[in-house]
Amino acid sequence: MSTPQPLLILTQDDLLAERWQALSSSPIRALDIHGLETWRKAGHRLVVIDLGSRLGGALPLWTHQAWRENATGLAILATSSRPDDDEGLAVLNAGASGYCHSHAPVDNLRQALDVIDSGELWVGRALLSRLLRLVDSRLPRAGLADWARPLTEREREVAHHAAVGESNVAIAGALGITERTVKAHLKAIFEKLEVADRLQLALRVHGVR
């Protein structure tokens, strides 16, 4: 099912634009990065953009003035035919809400749009791990009273490992427990701390929310 939200499609690739038409019941296509400003001023917010298109000249799209001035008022799913973690970090830092492959399955793109439309981030596992490690390296840890009080000692250990981007397998190995037990602890942690995913958990652990 397509999203009921109006969707701005930004690409110069006709085949890609045709494919993305199925993402929304109200898709609008633009061929220039300045379409972001028009879209925001019209009161819309959902955008899927092809970073490979020369929509704003030779410079990366996220460095363009039209992006910088309008990204904070939009929910942008940035896509690339050759996804790269460094590029992903750059576009997220510039205000995009998601980053994925341009030719990801349409159902996956719909899911990504639903996620960013709800105010969350959409990124791949490898990029998420890098984001979490950046959070861990740059932000001070909160005290026990700020986030850990509702958790058991084991849940606190699992939370710390998850908050720096470690996989369930890695956490299980580090703590000498099964992967299934890690999943059970994470489920309990998410419920107790009222967070939806590992990124929100990392922000809570480091005192950001």
Q: Each residue of 153-204: pLDDT tens digit?
A: 999 999 988 887 788 888 999 899 999 999 999 999 999 998 877 877 877 7
pLDDT band at 86 (very low <50, low <70, confident <90, very high): confident
- As a whole number of angstroms, the distance between CA 72 and CA 94 comes to 9
- Average pLDDT over the chain reads 85
Residue ranges of domains in the chain:
7-136, 153-205
**7-136 carries CATH number 3.40.605.10:** no
What stretches of 62-111 adopt beta strand conformation (E)?
A: 75-80, 98-101
The per-residue pLDDT for range 105-114, each reduced to its tens digit, is: 999 999 999 9
Span of 16-25, 39-48, 54-63, 167-176 with lowest mean pLDDT? 54-63
Mode of pairing for the β-strands spanning 3-10 and 24-30: parallel
Looking at domain 153-205, its CATH class is mainly alpha
- As a whole number of angstroms, the distance between CA 58 and CA 19 comes to 25
Task: Note whether 99 and 79 are within 8 A (CB).
Answer: yes
Task: Note whether 157 and 151 are within 8 A (CB).
Answer: no
pLDDT for the residue numbered 72: 85
Q: How far is CA 60 from the centre of its chain?
A: 19
- As a whole number of angstroms, the distance between CA 115 and CA 92 comes to 15
Only one residue has tokens 């929509």, namely: 55
The per-residue pLDDT for range 21-34, each reduced to its tens digit, is: 999 988 999 998 99
pLDDT for the residue numbered 183: 92
User: 42, 131, 51, 39: which is closest to 85 by C-alpha?
Assistant: 131
9: left (phi over 0), alpha (psi -120 to 50) or beta: beta
Average pLDDT over residues 60-79: 92
- As a whole number of angstroms, the distance between CA 131 and CA 126 comes to 9
